[in-house]
Amino acid sequence: ADVFTFDPGFTSTASCESTITFIDGDKGELWYRGYPIDQLAAKSNHLETSYLLLYGELPNAEQMADFDKRVTHHTMVHEQMHNFFRGFRRDAHPMATMVGVVGAMSAFYHDSTDVNDPWQREVASIRLIAKLPTIAAMAYKYSLGQPFVYPKNDLDYASNFLRMCFAVPCEDYVVSPILAKAMDRIMMLHADHEQNASTSTVRLAGSSGANPFACIAAGIACLWGPAHGGANQAALEMLREIGTVDRIPEFIAKAKDKNDPFKLMGFGHRVYKNFDPRAKVMKESADEVLDLLGIHDNETLKVAKELERIALEDEYFIEKKLYPNVDFYSGIILEAMGFPTSMFTPIFAISRTVGWVAQWKEMLADPQSKIGRPRQLYVGAERRSYVPLSNR
Ligand code: CMC
């Protein structure tokens, strides 16, 4: 009989070789193409980082201008795609809309679905990076019953997204540079994270030769879950539910109770066992944004900080090496910007698109890659004979 390694949850299986992102979970290190995330967060921006993730090197001025132009050229979506949005209920979760609409891009951009043609792969990659903010913003506008706002291509990536979400036709809308910078940083911090569940999903879907839009739709679907990208929505909802600092011990006790499925959302990570370097930057960013917006005495932030303090001193969390992850603080920033919690995970999806695309391209270019096909340990019934219905 075949002998397999049994590895539920793939905790010790490397599924590919990759040159894109490095994580050292014990040291709390994250590098994109060798550059530490804190350096990029301080000095780069999401679009430049996207170039780095896609092509392996930081761009020079000319390469950056060209990349910027190519991305902005593709920010609009096919006008007929508006009909897709209109088919959804207004109260649909924007992630549901995005899974559908991004998958449907396969039906609109036929000239970039041939995965064997490197040029088409490139065009599809740029289309996805360029259109995801537009699609997420449209999903949001649709949920509000407001008209869609078209992209404005003299704005940077983050500002354009904010404008498409918050501008209304009857009023002028000027994007706040503070918010744009914070949004850009959120995007950059989420841009890639090696073989996480959604990225592995994109690679697995892509390994069959499925078209890029279908693969990214699969990644969005996987990201939605509360154990993954959905944690940012779940974390803020949890902080709101806790409500006041005095209720924290009650929730800590619930999280520690073996018989209670409740987990502290925004805590813990499969790989980081020291701290999540993204959370560190995000926490600083949250402080900065609330300060600049003049939001003092924010009860949610107070609860978050106190919860973090108590948990980090608690034996259960110390022993299990559970620390706040990237999703713990991002929600506070997004809430301060005016986003409803349902938009948190779509913003994660926009940000992660470049990572998904870079990993998908890397896989297709890798001569070692083949269709992903895990095996199993069968533990079902022994061979048996069919019993006719009348005899059962
Ligand atoms: N609160 C309380 N206990 C926890 C938590 C938590 N947030 N996370 C893990 N544990 C416990 C868990 O019950 C288990 O205990 P035991 O050993 O007694 O069975 C132990 O710690 C190990 O946890 P695990 O679930 O086996 O670890 P994992 O690597 O399979 O899961 C995780 C990692 C991130 C899914 C998990 O920590 C979790 O569900 N956290 C809350 C959701 C969350 O914040 N997810 C975002 C992750 S970062 C961004 C992203 O990936 O999108």
ipTM: 0.96
- Cα 378 to middle of ligand 1, angstroms: 27
- Cα–Cα dist 231/324, whole Å: 11
Please identify, by atom number, the ligand 1 atom nearest to the C-alpha of residue 271. 29
Name 313's Cβ contacts closer than 8 Å, sequence gap at least 6. none
Q: Is 35 helix (H, G, I), strand (E, B) or coil?
A: strand
Positions marked catalytic? 269, 327
For residue 196, the ligand 1 atom closest to its alpha carbon is 51
pLDDT given at position 116: 94
The pLDDT assigned to 237 comes to: 94
For ligand 1, atom 39: residue with the closest CA: 227
Q: Which helix (H) or strand (E) holds 29?
A: strand 29-32
Contact 213, 103 (CB under 8 A): yes
pLDDT at 299: 87
With a Cβ cut-off of 6 Å, ligand 1 is lined by 9, 196, 227-229, 231, 255, 263-270, 320, 322, 325-327
Under 8 Å between Cβ of 321 and 314: no
pLDDT given at position 292: 86
Query: Angle CA(29)–CA(31)–CA(32) in degrees, nearest 5?
Result: 160
Distance between Cα 40 and ligand 1 center (Å)? 27
Element (H, E) at 24: strand 21-24
CATH topology of domain 17-225+341-365: Citrate Synthase; domain 1 (1.10.580)
The residue to mutate among 252, 267, 281, having the most atoms of ligand 1 within 8 angstroms of its beta carbon, is 267
Site to substitute for ligand 1 among 193, 194, 270, 350, most atoms within 8 A of C-beta: 270
Instruction: Please tell me the distance between residue 279's alpha carbon and the centre of ligand 1 in angstroms.
Output: 16
Atom 50 in ligand 1: which residue has the minimum CA distance? 228
* pLDDT, one tens digit for every residue, the chain (392 residues): 677 899 999 999 999 999 999 999 999 999 999 999 999 999 999 999 999 999 999 999 999 999 999 999 999 999 999 999 999 999 999 999 999 999 999 999 999 999 999 999 999 999 999 999 999 999 999 999 999 999 999 999 999 999 999 999 888 999 999 899 999 999 999 999 999 999 999 999 999 999 999 999 999 999 999 999 999 999 999 999 999 999 999 999 999 999 999 999 999 999 998 889 999 999 888 888 888 888 888 888 899 989 999 999 999 999 999 999 998 989 989 998 999 999 999 999 999 999 999 999 999 999 999 999 999 999 999 999 999 999 99
Half-sphere exposure at residue 197, Cβ-oriented, CA atoms within 13 angstroms: 16
Separation of CA 162 and ligand 1 centre (Å): 32
Here the tokens at position 153 are: 């291509």
Which pLDDT value is given to residue 298? 83
* Burial bucket for residue 257 (CB in 10 Å: 0-12, 13-18, 19+): exposed
Say how far apart CA 201 and CA 217 lie, in whole Å.
10
For 247-250, the CB contacts below 8 A with 24+ separation are: 248/303, 248/306, 248/307, 248/310, 249/310
Q: Does domain 231-337 have CATH number 1.10.10.10?
A: no
Neighbours of 330 (CB within 10 A): 30
Domain ranges in the chain are 17-225+341-365, 231-337
Predicted local confidence at residue 1, as pLDDT: 63
